[in-house]
Amino acid sequence: MISATDSSDVPRPAARRARDAARLARIFGETLPETTRDERGDDPDERGSVDDWLRSQVPPHHG
């Protein structure tokens, strides 16, 4: 039988939530980024188009 203290609906103290979150982040890494892609600035390394990537993959003898 499940007691009321075993229920996931019971709020946990803030210190335990923070400790659990830190432990999960250590084990699994950050599951969700702090900001979304549209909130972040453009990365100059990622601004190339798909065509640029395709052209960079062409072997030299197909020049």
* 12 Cβ contact partners less than 8 Å away, ≥ 6 residues apart: 20
Q: Is the Cα dihedral 14, 17, 19, 25 positive or negative?
A: negative
Q: What's the Rg (C-alpha) of the chain?
A: 23
Tell me if the pTM is above 0.85. Answer: no
- Contact indicator for 5, 13 with CB cutoff of 8 Å: no
Tens-place pLDDT, residues 22-50: 888 888 887 677 777 788 776 656 666 77
Q: Per this entry, what is the length of the chain?
A: 63
What pLDDT was estimated at residue 10? 65
pLDDT, average across residues 48-55: 80
